Amino acid sequence: MNWQIMLCFSVTSAAEGAAREAKPVSVSAIKKMTMNYAANTLLGRQNDVANQYFKWTANDQLLLKFQPLVQNSLNTSGATRYWADAIAAYNKIPLVSKVNPNL
């Protein structure tokens, strides 16, 4: 398999592992949701009201849970290695802006 496919599989695996941790945080945030937010979400008065609500109520908790899980999964699956290899190759191209390979 080439590195692009391996990177895709690795990142998907990392996301799946982290997503399991989102459920209790999401449930907690939903239980705290006011009727106004629930109505706006269901009626679509704002396109991103649900995103904004979760960002406001759960972002810090999700970051605390996700960062170590995603980092561990990326390392275990090899995604960080594939990504670093890809970025190293990209950074060797003349006249391109250099990219930081840190995921």
Residue 15 structural domain: 3-91
pLDDT in tens, 58-69: 888 888 887 887
Q: Is residue 7 part of a domain?
A: yes
Count of domains in the chain?
1
| pTM confidence score | 0.50
In a domain, 96, yes or no: no
User: Is 103 strand, coil or helix?
Assistant: coil
Distance between CA atoms of 102 and 23, rounded to whole angstroms? Answer: 27
Which stretches does DSSP call E strand in 1-103?
A: none
Q: Which residues of 72-81 are buried (b: 16+ CB within 10 A; e: fewer)?
A: ebbeebbbbe
Q: Is residue 57 part of a domain?
A: yes
Dump pLDDT digits (tens) for 8-36.
776 777 677 667 777 888 888 888 888 87
